Structure 1
Amino acid sequence: MTSLLADLLTRPLVDPGRTAVTIDGDSLTRAELVAAASGFARSLPGGSGPIAIQADRSLRTVVAVVGCIAAGVPFVPIAPDAGVAEREHVLTDSGATHFAGDSAPPTLTALPVDLVGAVSTADPVPRPSDSETAAILYTSGTTGVPKGVLISRSAIASGVEALAEAWQWTAADTVAHGLPLFHAHGLILGVLGSLHIGSPFAHTGSPTPANYASAGATVFFGVPTIWNRIADDPESARALRDARLLISGSAPLSVRTFERIRALTGHALIERYGMTETLIALSTRADGERRPGWVGVPLSGYTTRLRTETGDVVPADGESVGRLEVQGPSLFDGYLGLPTATEESWTEDGWFITGDLAVVDEQGFHRIVGRESVDLIKSGGYRIGAGEVEECLRNVTGVGEAVVVGVPDEDLGQRIVAFVIVDDPGGEVAPTSHFGDQLIAHVADELSWHKRPREIRFVEEFPRTPLGKVQKKVLLDDITSAH
């Protein structure tokens, strides 16, 4: 493993005039980025604590992040649309001492970010230890207040290099996406991953199909919402035929979208699995099988196992559901200031408990079926993965999206309730009780009787996180509070 951004920050630049990053049409070359980031690093006051960065879609965000890495000071990305309470929690909990961006809070010292740095012949900024914290990323807060996840420099470098091996990602690639720059997907993988590998990075701006089509990249990152929209725009989709890889993550991708993208672009999407605490641990490979609905095999250096709630081994039969546990070099160092939560997230023998449910087959291919907290449904004595039922529903003509939850039930323990968004431009399907009965019967026929939803609720939209993940806990709370 090489040190994080070593080729960019601590070694003579190869091809310094090559574009390093482009955002909304504005670019910095490698030399310009190094000069600006080094200037920012040298501007940091001695003894600075974590630096909060307003992580909007701008070159200033990238310069500030790279500058913090150069200086060995942890950065804390702040969502530009964060609410008052969330912003205050992150700033206070992280212990940030300075703020890079507009509208710095009165409690923190504002730091200017200059995009025009002087190319210095002085000694480079000293290289920090790889074991030091590079980033404090906050979870989405779906199970309580957001927690600060401590990610080391070595975790980022190891994770990116494992992906480079799986995806055959090299400096010859150009990576593009339209994702936010305050999450691991868009910032750590997209921006820092590209800079570490040496491939130019381009942000598409708004993640529209037309913007993806005109990006001219070889590797595209996206979430299922983006790929759904691209599949609905055949002209833009066909413009991606010249790409090398199309990659989907952060939420489950439907088999239907996978097949539509393949038909339009000629590419089978790369699906992968990760979370803030692990970065990416599983992926299909550029040179391997790409099975719709499955997130592939462990990256080089990673291992996984599936266990039941009582610790029993789950067989690798492609059917049995178990709790996914992971070991690997990109795992986080703990939750900031939360020793109990950190301890509870690891098994006694050193495996990180992801909280996700999965199945694995004899070839080591994994399929994620949901979160243990909301997606393991225990109904009538059966253990049912919500993801399996959701995928079955999504394959029905007229169903745009489907979300399944387990609602407390005196008789069954939990009953399966499905929320469905109807998507039928032809107008042949309507959100009626008759269509709901058809969906229930379909699941009973395709899967089994005990996996059928007991109720279908038609909705127009789902509550979501900024990356498009459905907030099931909100849906579940709405149901339970109404009774």
Structure 2
Amino acid sequence: MLLPTLTPTAPDDPEVIRIGEDRLSREDLVGAATAVAERIAGARTVAVLAQPTVETVLAVVGGLIAGVPVVPVPPDSGPREFAHILADSGAQAWLGQGPADATLPVVPVRRYAKSWHRHPEPHADSTALILYTSGTTGLPKGVPITRQAIAEGLDALADAWLWTADDTLAHGLPLFHVHGLILGVLGPLRRGGRLIHTEKPTAAGYAAAAEAGASMFFGVPTVWSRVGADPEAARTLSSARILVSGSAPLPVPVFDRVRELTGHEIVERYGMTETLITVSTRVDGERRPGWVGLPLAGVETRLREGDADVPHDGESVGDLHVRGPMMASGYLNRPDATAESWLDDGFFATGDVAVIDPDGMHRIVGRRSTDLIKSGGFRIGAGEIETVLLAHPAVRETAVIGVPDDYLGQRIVAYVVADEVDDTELIEFVAGELSNHKRPREIRFVDSLPRNAMGKVQKKLLG
């Protein structure tokens, strides 16, 4: 059973979900979500405008109870993206609030309606959610995720993070991605714990959640950067059991700053929409800044360069492939794209390049297309240059890319958001910390970096 704690006979809790000031008891959640399931029973697919509301949670859980695949749609999608997601997924209706110009019927979610009808548990291999990837080129691809994959992924994380029903999770992440929805909503519901969603991922919101008893916190690097910049709020989080970062690389200076203020070493993890989370630091293991940890239970990883294996020596960079029970099996309606990424032996080619040390610890270098720079015959990871630049007191944000160069092949260029500082000072700063060939050949100062909803820098918009 995907959500064993949500049954009509489950013991009630005075509060299991809090989103802003809105709250649901377990009884209210089960009754209202089951009423949603009654209204959509037999539907093929439904879309949910995934705003951070109690109604979104009821819609998603109602779909899971009914066995109807749910498509969480980013509320800020443009008309072209809305049309593509609805047509590609085959959604028949909006469940809950639809967009202002909705072209599909809207099925309301009535939070005070109640039903105690027992629905049979859908087959483990049936599709629970269809998530759309937030790629930087082309229209997003749909990824059908089964109930079994979600259950396996959440249980593997519970093992790595010692996650139990006693935990209260707090975060303010969007509810249309793996991080905010599957880990951040279905995770506590599967474990039987509580969720405090802060609506927005602010340091003040996280501090308030800590004061309300939150023991686990999820955030992306930009969130932890905000926490580190607010010492008073950060110190409130010292009462937590675990802080987790994902969805983008966590800069080492942010790791160090949060550790200094909270006493916690942030747990880092790695995953994708297509695979859920496959690698993570363990709560009871080593937490190494800049490294995302070990394969979760049941997961295998490997590094490849073409058809050859790359040694796990902590230095050699290779294409990261993963295989595990939490993976999806392909893209929706995209057989060609599926064949490119899902390999014949069951591994998934992530498109990321990584390093694995002899103990199995993983460091993600970045996307092969944007973060692996081939300059002057060297293979250079943009991330290590970014980490050094962020250690400079004047630098607030940075993104490093390779641009075509007739002599070097690619020239290292750093986009930097910074206080007043000379470009030559930054170049020399990197050269003093890393090999000379890893220094930026050019610094481009900008007011901000382009980011998506999860805080990832959109490097393809640079250069």
Q: Same fold by TM-score, threshold 0.5 exceeded?
A: yes
Distance in 2 of aligned mates of 1:445 and 1:374: 24
Q: 1:388-407 alignment to 2 at 5 Å?
A: 388-407=384-403
Structure 1 partner of 2:226? 229
Structure 2 partner of 1:427? none
Q: For 1:451, which of 411, 424, 438 is the aligned residue?
A: 438
RMSD: 1.3
What is the CA-CA distance between 1:279 and the residue it aligns to?
1.0
SS in 1 for 2:358: coil
What amino acid is aligned across from residue 291 of structure 1 in structure 2?
A: R
CA deviation vs aligned residue, 1:112-155 (integer Å, no higher than 9, x gap): 101113242x4x11111010111110011213210001111111
Structure 1 partner of 2:34? 38
Q: Does 1:296 align with 2:293?
A: yes
Structure 2 partner of 1:333? 329
Distance of aligned partners of 1:379 and 1:60 in 2 relative to their CA distance in 1, 3 Å threshold = same
Q: Does 1:146 align with 2:144?
A: no
TM-score (normalizing by structure 1): 0.93
What is the CA-CA distance between 1:393 and the residue it aligns to?
1.5
Q: 1:184-263 alignment to 2 at 5 Å?
A: 184-215=178-209, 216=212, 217-263=214-260
CA deviation vs aligned residue, 1:402-457 (integer Å, no higher than 9, x gap): 111111112221111111111x5xxxxx14xxx21122222223221222211110
Percent of aligned pairs sharing the same letter: 56
Instruction: Check conservation: 2:413, 2:444, Cα contact below 8 A.
Output: yes
What amino acid is aligned across from residue 60 of structure 1 in structure 2?
A: E
Q: 1:338-357 alignment to 2 at 5 Å?
A: 338-357=334-353
Structure 2 partner of 1:4? 2
Distance in 1 of aligned mates of 2:427 and 2:379: 18
Distance of aligned partners of 1:255 and 1:106 in 2 relative to their CA distance in 1, 3 Å threshold = closer
Q: Does 1:317 align with 2:304?
A: no
Instruction: Check conservation: 1:49, 1:98, Cα contact below 8 A.
Output: no
CA deviation vs aligned residue, 1:442-480 (integer Å, no higher than 9, x gap): 2223221222211110111011101110000011xxx3x
What is the CA-CA distance between 1:86 and the residue it aligns to?
1.3
Distance in 2 of aligned mates of 1:237 and 1:106: 41
CA deviation vs aligned residue, 1:182-225 (integer Å, no higher than 9, x gap): 11110110001110111111101222211110113000001111
SS in 2 for 1:134: strand
Instruction: Check conservation: 2:365, 2:382, Cα contact below 8 A.
Output: yes
Distance in 1 of aligned mates of 2:433 and 2:257: 22
Instruction: Check conservation: 2:59, 2:96, Cα contact below 8 A.
Output: no
Distance in 2 of aligned mates of 1:45 and 1:66: 13
Distance in 1 of aligned mates of 2:358 and 2:97: 52
Q: What count of residue pairs does the alignment treat as equivalent?
A: 459
What amino acid is aligned across from residue 236 of structure 2 in structure 1?
A: A
Instruction: Check conservation: 1:271, 1:294, Cα contact below 8 A.
Output: yes
What is the CA-CA distance between 1:283 and the residue it aligns to?
0.7
Distance in 2 of aligned mates of 1:68 and 1:415: 50
SS in 1 for 2:388: helix
CA deviation vs aligned residue, 1:148-175 (integer Å, no higher than 9, x gap): 0111111111100000010000000000
SS in 2 for 1:330: coil
What is the CA-CA distance between 1:399 and the residue it aligns to?
1.2
CA deviation vs aligned residue, 1:356-405 (integer Å, no higher than 9, x gap): 11111111111111101111111122111111211121122211121111
Structure 2 partner of 1:279? 276
What amino acid is aligned across from residue 300 of structure 1 in structure 2?
A: A
CA deviation vs aligned residue, 1:79-127 (integer Å, no higher than 9, x gap): 112111111111111110010233455531210101113242x4x1111
What amino acid is aligned across from residue 294 of structure 1 in structure 2?
A: W
Distance in 2 of aligned mates of 1:119 and 1:135: 23
What is the CA-CA distance between 1:71 and the residue it aligns to?
0.7
Q: Does 1:98 align with 2:85?
A: no
What amino acid is aligned across from residue 4 of structure 1 in structure 2?
A: L
Instruction: Check conservation: 2:330, 2:342, Cα contact below 8 A.
Output: no
